Amino acid sequence: MCSCCRSTEGATSFPNLNIALFVFVLGSCIFLNLTGYRSKNDGISAPQPFWKNSTNRLALGMILIGVLTNEFVIARLLGIETGLELSTIRTLRTIEKLLLFGGGSILAGKWIAALLDRLLRRIGIQVQDAEHAEQLRALVLCLTIPWFILLMVAEPGKPERFWWLWPLQSMFLAAFFTWILPRFSISRPLIWLMAIGTSVIVGSNPFLLHRINGWRENGWAGTDAPSVQAVNYLTSELKAQGRNKAAIGYHFFIYRFMAAYNITNPQYKVGMDFDLLFKYPHEITNTNQCAEGLSPLDEYRIVQTTPQKGKEAPRLYFDVPLDQDFRLLRQFGPYQVFKRSEIAMR
């Protein structure tokens, strides 16, 4: 699948139709910038010189800055031993590409729009008047700018990076059927048939169907995740004792950085997400701040029995036997909640 279709990946359970959805959205972006032929009431002003147009100046400025950045900044910084980190070099290169490709895209987009306007004028189709097209360009930029940036910087295989753009994309998808197609004298029944078919395709995506089944079975709020259930249970235990702090250990499957980065930032530790669940909703402070999440002084311990599913799920596990002084209180999914016996704590 091409990188441009990543923004619609996951929107439908029919993978091959992601390309069609992308074409519809892209078609709206293009045609909402067009005017077609001008009516007699439209004032036709003389064309401005190329360099006097503000959009052209912006595009040329982006290209010029990109070239100068490459020749006088990046070339000198990267041509000597400056000790720049690889991430910094990549960031500079990405900014340069964004400037060059962005400026070129603006110019190319204007030339394509002018060509399509000329073709539509010849066959007698008017999409909208010039004033309306100028107003809609701001809406088009709201989608195309973040869309373009994500296509440049988002890593492959991560369509979720684009999901926050889906509300805007759905607006352009609706505009294709309600605004664009009627301008081309396509029969209303055919437009309705295409719109209904697209709605069915988009509405049958696995994510939405999974959510609908969850709402039907468990209500709108759904059920808490096992981790939240474990935190809520242990919180109720502490509240019953009138306590707002305890030494809680975590024996989880982890990524290596969770413990390794603790030396530079104390916020990195095994089970930090659980600490936050205890602290902010329930005002419970975990006094165990060990990087590995385990301590001989733990009063309670939450043990993860099985790793999460997925190729990128954490797999590192500290093979530490559970002290015999701990007794099992409850289990929530893969999480077991243990408590050290009162005699051992004394």
Q: How far apart are CA 342 and CA 346, in angstroms?
A: 6
pLDDT in tens, the chain (346 residues): 455 566 666 667 666 778 888 888 888 888 887 777 655 555 444 455 555 566 667 777 777 877 776 666 666 665 555 566 666 667 777 777 777 777 777 777 777 777 887 888 787 777 777 777 777 877 888 888 888 888 877 877 778 888 888 889 999 999 899 888 888 878 889 999 999 988 888 888 887 888 888 888 888 878 889 999 999 999 999 999 999 999 999 999 999 888 889 999 988 999 999 999 999 999 999 999 999 999 999 999 999 999 988 888 898 888 888 888 899 999 999 999 999 987 555 5
3-class SS of residue 254? strand
- Beta partners for 337? 302, 330
| Residue 137 · residue 33 · CB < 8 Å | yes
Hey, how many other C-beta atoms are within 10 angstroms of the C-beta on 220?
A: 6
Q: How far apart are CA 33 and CA 110, in angstroms?
A: 9
| Residue 28 · residue 176 · CB < 8 Å | yes
Q: How far apart are CA 12 and CA 19, in angstroms?
A: 11
Closest CA to 127 of 59, 181, 88, 79: 181
Whose tokens are 């009516």? That residue is 39
Q: How far apart are CA 268 and CA 257, in angstroms?
A: 8
**Buried b or exposed e, range 323-332, using 16+ CB within 10 angstroms:** eeebeeeebb
Helices (H), 249-289: 256-260, 272-282
Closest CA to 99 of 154, 136, 59, 44: 59
The single-letter code of the amino acid at 231 is: V
- Structural domain spans, the chain: 3-214, 226-345
Closest CA to 155 of 2, 10, 9, 3: 3
Q: How far apart are CA 102 and CA 96, in angstroms?
A: 10
